[in-house]
A and B are shown apart, each in its own frame.
Chain A
Amino acid sequence: MVEAAQKIVRYSLLVLFSVVFAAPLLWLLSTSVKKQGELFASPPVFFPKVPRWQNYADVFDTINFFRLTGNTVLISVLTVIGILISAPLVAYACSHIEWKGKKILFAAVIATLLLPYQVTMLPLYVIWTRLGLVGTYVPLVLPAFLSAGAGYYVFMIRQFFMTIPNSLVQAARIDGASEFRIYAQIMLPLCKPIIATVGVLVFLAAWSDFLGPLLYLNDKDSYTLSLGLYAFMQTHYVEWEKLMAASAMFTLPIIVLFFFAQKQFIEGITLTGIKG
């Protein structure tokens, strides 16, 4: 009896939570195919009788969606490449190389995590302006190749590297393998799971970034989706059906990525050693 009651409580809570988490997204989808008259109808319309797919077409007509998507993909992919090249290198220097700077280096990585971005944001903006690079993708992408702002990812990769036995590295060294070869042919292949996880997380962060594009992009043709959506909101802010259609189009690639890379999103976290 008690067991059955417990089970009912358990599942009711799970379903309740699921409804709360899913409802705003379902509301988004339902609104994105509403007619304008249905938006403010009373009683409220939860399921539009005839879905109005035209809303999506309208978004395509008002903003250059393919262009913005292309821009966002370009920035995100370059950021991922940059961080995946530079971050594991530092992480290796923080884990399996016994050298003088190891401790200080790791402390510097952690320090960048605690430093509010506002402190560096203003001088960087001044520098990029003076270099005439505001309006290009350089300020958004170049820092990634030098692991700037990637402290968290360096930390994650380093924690994973630490789980690889040092004896393996030592054995390769005794066999006369060069340090770079050990890194590229032993370390990286063993650490594919964490590299994949970091790749996915970086992509997600770059795809969703708002402040970076807001500061550095000023030409509508070079906007990312975040910025495009923001500009679209400012001009169409009572046309909720179009705003929701645009939001859905912006979010969809992330959801698709999630379903293809569920393992990296969910199980990847457990690999990182953050959990304890």
Chain B
Amino acid sequence: MHRKANMTGLLFSSPFLIGFLLFTLFPIGASLVYSFCDFNLFKSLSWVGLDNYKWILQEKEVGKSIFNTLYMVVFATPVTIVAGLLSAQLLNLKVKGQSVFRTLFYVPSIVPVIASSLVWMWVLNPKSGLINSVLQLLHIRGPNWLLDPVWTKPSLILMGAWGSGGIMIIFLAALQDVPKSLYESAEIDGAGSLRKFVSITLPSISPIILFQLVMSLIVYFQYFAQAFMLASLTNSGADQSMAGPEKSLLFYSILLYREAFVDFRMGHASAMAWVLFLITALVTWFVFKTSKKWVTYGGE
């Protein structure tokens, strides 16, 4: 009987297992080997030991890309989560036309990233974009957004907050699940809105906040498509650096892509991928570890 169950289990999971072997395990091994080699599509592997990792430690552009990526991780993650939570909280209030508002808040998040990046490049156009045009009507001189190295990353964060609808939907579902009785008893005790939000809402949805936090961290550590688009546009034609004004858009994944597919240094790129893997794993572990202090699970 047990053997039969084992066979069935294996059978049902076989498509995944084959995929896991071919598209995950084998590439992981190969990429580890590449990371110790000098290699590209036009020449065979030659062992270079730790050279690629030494390069990561020494190359200034890597440092710059890590700074830019951490900037996004540290600022964009909380901004998108707060934007999502705030819009969810607003929608969760008893209001008429809730579904219309919900649609309006949600739709930006499903606009394909290439299209939304294009739209934002135009919205943020320093002369004739929507934001600076509105500011101009108010006699305020808007910043140069995507052309000013100080403003490029805030522009991307703004774009991220605009697309926070996916996060909002999950928060909304969680908010609707908080037992009404908790709020009622708090009201009897004379708690105000803010007090209720801090001592009831936040603890009740803390597992979801943790989930969103981990997912967002991963997304921003791997940030690619939007930056790739913006950098290709702010670059002038022949420039292949894909780094944006004063390298302010040179993110880790962009540099990795460039090393692998523009400069054909697979060894560098593979070592970078492994460093990214280690950093992501470390940060995720750290978040889970500290989460015990602030996440409360149901039944309490």
Known: A25-B108, A105-B13, A147-B15. A234 touches B31 (CB 8 A): no
Asked whether, in the complex, the Cβ of A101 is within 8 Å of the Cβ of B24, the reply is no
Q: A275 with B119: in contact, given A21-B104, A90-B13, A119-B31 (CB under 8 Å)? A: no
A118 x B41 contact (CB < 8 A): no
B273 beta carbon closer than 8 Å to chain A: yes
Interface range, A side: 35 or more
Q: Say if the beta carbon of B291 comes within 8 Å of chain A.
A: no
A256 to chain B, nearest CB (A): 11
Contact B101 A86, beta carbon cutoff 8 Å: no
- Contact between chains at B30 and A126 (CB < 8 Å): yes
Question: Contacting chain B: which of A48-56, A57-65, A188-196, A266-274?
Answer: A266-274
B276 lies within 8 A of A116 (CB)? yes
> What CA separation (Å) do A276 and B179 show in the bound complex?
13
- Chain A, residue nearest B279 (CB): A116
Asked if A27 contacts B13 (CB within 8 A), the reply is no
Residues of B within 8 A of A183 (CB): 12
Residues of A within 8 A of B211 (CB): 274
Structural contact, B31 and A122, CB atoms closer than 8 A: yes
Report A85-123 CB contacts with B as 1/0, cut-off 8 Å.
111011011100111111001001100101111111111
Chain B residues, Cβ within 8 Å of A44: 128, 133, 136-137
| Complex alpha-carbon distance, A90 and B113, angstroms | 30
Q: Residue A22 contacts which of B16, B27, B104, B177 (CB distance < 8 angstroms)?
A: B104
1/0 per residue B47-89: CB within 8 Å of A?
0000000000000000000000000000000000000000100
Q: Within residues 1 to 16 of chain B, which ones have a CB less than 8 A from any CB in chain A? A: 5-6, 8-10, 12-13, 15-16
Whether B12 lies near A92 (C-beta < 8 A) is: yes
Q: What's the Cα separation between A250 and B116 when bound, in Å? A: 10
Are A89 and B16 interface neighbours, CB within 8 A? yes
* Contact B26–A14 (Cβ < 8 Å): no
- Are A122 and B270 in touch, CB under 8 angstroms? yes
Check if B245 is an interface residue, CB within 8 A of chain A: no
Contacts of B260 in A (CB 8 A): 121-122, 125
A177: chain B residues at CB < 8 Å are none
Q: In the complex, what's the smallest C-beta–C-beta distance from B160 to chain A, in angstroms? A: 13
Interface presence of B201 (CB below 8 A): no
A40 adjacent to B103 (CB under 8 Å): no
Closest residue of chain B to A204 (Cβ to Cβ) is B110
Of the residues A10, A21, A94, A276, contact of B207 by C-beta under 8 Å: A276
Count chain B CB atoms within 10 A of each CB in A86, A92, A121, A254 and give the residue with the most. Answer: A121
* B130/A24 in contact, CB under 8 A: yes
Question: Is the C-beta of B213 less than 8 angstroms from some C-beta in chain A?
Answer: no
**B87, chain A: closest CB distance, angstroms:** 6
CB distance from B245 to the nearest CB of A (A): 16
Given known A-B contacts A99-B9, A122-B269, A129-B41, A146 and B15 have beta carbons under 8 A apart: yes
Contact at B118–A210, with CB atoms within 8 Å?
A: no
Per-residue A-contact encoding for B14-35, CB less than 8 Å = 1, 0 else: 0111111011101110110010
Tell me which residues across on chain A come within 8 A of B228, comparing CB atoms: 210
A115 touches B24 (CB 8 A): yes
**Cross-chain pairs A/B with CB under 8 angstroms, 9 sampled:** A14-B101, A27-B130, A40-B127, A89-B12, A97-B5, A119-B28, A121-B273, A122-B34, A254-B110
Known: A17-B105, A270-B173. 7 other contacts (CB 8 A): A24-B119, A99-B5, A115-B24, A115-B277, A143-B23, A254-B112, A274-B208
Which A residues are within 8 Å of any B CB, using their own CB?
10-11, 13-14, 17-18, 20-25, 27-28, 31, 39-44, 46, 85-87, 89-90, 92-94, 97-102, 105, 108-109, 112, 114-127, 129, 143, 145-149, 154, 179, 183, 204, 207-208, 210-211, 215, 225-226, 229-230, 233-234, 237, 240, 243-244, 247, 250-251, 254-255, 258, 262, 265-266, 269-270, 274-276
